[in-house]
Structure 1
Amino acid sequence: MKLLPITLCLVAASSNLLAAGRDTISVVGSSTVYPFSTVVAERFGKSTEFKTPKIESTGTGGGMKLFCAGTGVDTPDMSNASRRMKKSEFDMCQKNGVKNITEVLVGYDGIVIANSKSAKQMELTRKELFLALAKEVPAKDGSEKLVANPYKTWNEINPKLPATKIEVLGPPPTSGTRDAFAELVLEGGCKTFKWIKAMKKQNKTKYKTVCHSVREDHAYIEAGENDNLIVQKLSANAKALGIFGFSFLEQNSDKLQGSIVDGKEPTFEAISDGSYPVSRPLYFYVKNAHVGKIPGIKEFLTEYTSESSMGEEGYLTDKGLIPLGDSKLEVIRKNVLSLKALSL
């Protein structure tokens, strides 16, 4: 009996798994994109003959690991992401046989630093947020020396801020929101120190470590991938702040308020026009090998990228999504429906 090469056996096994069938679309990934995908999935399930897709909130990084693990019914069809796929993740996909991936830019979102409406609205700068949350910060004496973060209360950073303990609930390292917060807020505040900014040219790795590392002495509290849990904790503790996507603030505007950052309040308009400094693009990724094998993927993509969903007046804007604009949406839709392959 002639034995097949092991690679052919693996491909055959993967194809057999797909052929064996799964009749429900599987989506994993970002907790920020989760509510948007959930709304589309529910509408899709009610308006077509296909089953409602299963959406799981695993965090962007966790979702990418599952998505890039391989092809077959035991792996997800799509992965939500609150940042763009990293080159290392793309390479992991390629290595594991996930060769053709379509990238979908959904829209934009702001990262808010929010607190309970029963407390005073905070007015913060990115520099103050860096000093409050970074693992190491410049010494208080003004010297060009980094020290373990000594700040315990907000007024130690700026006398105009409240004399309350620094207590910020935020996402874990696997979260795309955490990555974006580190890049947009912490690094944004970090590079206001000229001597640290100069470090980027001399030692990029050290610069990133200084500007992206979050303190580990319980001033920053990792609250998991469930943003609703952060909302609940802020409602119970008026002295704490929380970090999450603008859509969650929109959905809980009766209980919570967003902090003013660098003089700008997190509003739909300010995120849309880019004047709010902490905004980022949102994505999802499609495993093209599963299209036509798992029922309904192409039809789900059609619904997700439709004018009624992602458009200027689409139902996702009611959930807090900042839309792309008509011309950009048209290009995105064309690329998605033709399953244009991503290259990084």
Structure 2
Amino acid sequence: MRQTTFATALAFAAAGVMMAGAAEARDQIRIVGSSTVYPFTTAVAEQLGKTGGVKTPVVESTGTGGGMKLFCAGVGVEHPDATNASRRMKKSELEQCLNNGVKDVVELTVGYDGISLAQSKQGPAMKLTLPQLFLAVAKEVPGPDGKLIPNPYKTWSDIDKSLPNVKIEVLGPPPTSGTRDALHELLLEKGAEGVPALAALKKSDPKAFERMWKSIREDGAYVEAGENDNLIVQKLIANKNAFGIFGFSFLEENTAKLRGVPLDGVVPTYENITDGKYPGSRLLYVYVKKQHVGIVPGIDKFVAEFVSDKAIGEDGYLARKGLVTLPKSEAEKVRKAVSDMRTLSLDNLGS
């Protein structure tokens, strides 16, 4: 009954919608966005191609920020139908959508992920605190007198004598990635707050504090590895002393060769992420352009497949690919919201 209601709502939403600037029709769904969500959306696309009676959707890994720009650029078959995101859409991004005529954006919350710090099992096992991680990758850190100086730390033991005397090399996401946003907000801001001199800076000059925890060093210790998280995995396997930052699913798929690094004593595991114990826990999203429904065939089926129990359920095929699934009650709320075709408004988004 719910699927019937969903399909009816979608068909009604599409009626009378003109695709501005569309030169010719497109018969294949196009999806862009987050590299973290990419493997899950690809699995849904492949399943839809096998059983949904439509062409397998094209999924591109452009990063969350890049995906939002493409998605919000306009309505018409020259623009993507959906975008993956490893963070929630920003208010400024929805404003961009609205300014470009993308007036009806449907949000799918598809599950959890954990921003994982990982290393090769061949390297020295590490346990880090959030302040130690911050001091390793920050552009500026407090000097002996408490004033900010360019990051002088070259090895982990420079930060703390209890850590190995190994060169700091962290491979991580670029600024266009939602994982980079979440790295800042979930891990680095908290890490900065744990450094006494920076906690004092937060009280005396909040804007300076914000600029500081959002700035990552550019001297080679932190390496922007692009939007391909599999590339980071391969580099960690090749370099036992390097560390990588990526979504939990990539760690889960490579546990034979990689280990998760505990942060503040908590290991990135399925249970710790769903319980909220792991500090890098975050929600993952897919955003769909309601105005394309009924114009590009199969969007309604794609959405229904993504939120189905066989996909995002506890024993669904996305869980087998590493998605940390939503609790049943939360999954039902998502299905109800999608069935009702609820669209985002500026009022319920943060900055």
TM-score by length of 2: 0.91
C-alpha deviation, 1:314, in angstroms: 1.1
Aligned 8 A contact 2:170 2:242 in 1: yes
Amino acid at match of 1:17: A
In structure 1, runs of 5+ residues without a counterpart are 1-10
Look up the match of 2:229.
Answer: 227
Look up the match of 1:60.
Answer: 64
Residues 111-136 of structure 1: CA deviation (Å, up to 9, x unaligned): 11111111122100110001110000
Q: Identity percentage over the alignment? A: 57
Residues 258-299 of structure 1: CA deviation (Å, up to 9, x unaligned): 101100111111111111111111101011100111100011
SS of 1:339's equivalent? coil
SS of 1:159's equivalent? coil
Tell me how far apart the structure 2 counterparts of residues 254 and 111 of structure 1 sit (CA, whole Å): 19
Tell me how far apart the structure 2 counterparts of residues 241 and 53 of structure 1 sit (CA, whole Å): 34
Look up the match of 1:263.
Answer: 265
Tell me how far apart the structure 2 counterparts of residues 201 and 339 of structure 1 sit (CA, whole Å): 43
Look up the match of 2:139.
Answer: 135
Look up the match of 2:128.
Answer: 124
Look up the match of 1:244.
Answer: 246
Amino acid at match of 1:88: S
Aligned 8 A contact 1:104 1:283 in 2: yes
Tell me how far apart the structure 1 counterparts of residues 338 and 18 of structure 2 sit (CA, whole Å): 28
Look up the match of 2:320.
Answer: 318
Equivalent residue in structure 2 for 1:75, among 66, 75, 79: 79
Equivalent residue in structure 1 for 2:22, among 17, 25, 36: 17
SS of 2:22's equivalent? helix
SS of 2:209's equivalent? helix
C-alpha deviation, 1:13, in angstroms: 7.9
Look up the match of 2:152.
Answer: 150
Residues 24-56 of structure 1: CA deviation (Å, up to 9, x unaligned): 111000000000000111011001210001100
Aligned 8 A contact 2:142 2:197 in 1: no
C-alpha deviation, 1:144, in angstroms: 2.5
Tell me how far apart the structure 2 counterparts of residues 200 and 92 of structure 1 sit (CA, whole Å): 31
Look up the match of 2:94.
Answer: 90
C-alpha deviation, 1:195, in angstroms: 4.4
1:29 paired with 2:33, answer yes
Tell me how far apart the structure 2 counterparts of residues 321 and 13 of structure 1 sit (CA, whole Å): 36
Equivalent residue in structure 2 for 1:213, among 205, 212, 215: 215
Equivalent residue in structure 1 for 2:306, among 287, 304, 307: 304
Look up the match of 1:43.
Answer: 47
Aligned 8 A contact 2:124 2:241 in 1: no
Residues 218-256 of structure 1: CA deviation (Å, up to 9, x unaligned): 000000000011111111110100000000001111111
Tell me how far apart the structure 1 counterparts of residues 311 and 122 of structure 2 sit (CA, whole Å): 34
Look up the match of 1:6.
Answer: none
In structure 2, runs of 5+ residues without a counterpart are 1-15, 347-351
Aligned 8 A contact 2:124 2:164 in 1: no
SS of 1:88's equivalent? helix
Choose 227-236 or 196-205, whichever is displaced more. 196-205
C-alpha deviation, 1:202, in angstroms: 4.7
Aligned 8 A contact 1:298 1:337 in 2: no
1:338 paired with 2:346, answer no
1:176 paired with 2:178, answer yes
CA 1:200–1:159 in structure 2 vs 1: closer, same or farther (change >3 Å)? Answer: closer
How many equivalent pairs are there?
331
C-alpha deviation, 1:15, in angstroms: 3.9
C-alpha deviation, 1:146, in angstroms: 0.8
Look up the match of 2:282.
Answer: 280
Residues 165-202 of structure 1: CA deviation (Å, up to 9, x unaligned): 00011110000001100111111110113442344455
Aligned 8 A contact 1:301 1:337 in 2: no
Tell me how far apart the structure 2 counterparts of residues 310 and 13 of structure 1 sit (CA, whole Å): 33
C-alpha deviation, 1:322, in angstroms: 1.0
Residues 113-164 of structure 1: CA deviation (Å, up to 9, x unaligned): 111111122100110001110000111x2x3311110000000111111101
Look up the match of 2:3.
Answer: none
The two structures, once aligned, show a CA RMSD in angstroms of 1.6
Look up the match of 1:8.
Answer: none
Aligned 8 A contact 2:115 2:280 in 1: yes
Tell me how far apart the structure 1 counterparts of residues 20 and 80 of structure 2 sit (CA, whole Å): 15
SS of 2:125's equivalent? coil
SS of 1:283's equivalent? strand
Amino acid at match of 1:323: T
Tell me how far apart the structure 1 counterparts of residues 243 and 192 of structure 2 sit (CA, whole Å): 20
Aligned 8 A contact 2:33 2:62 in 1: yes
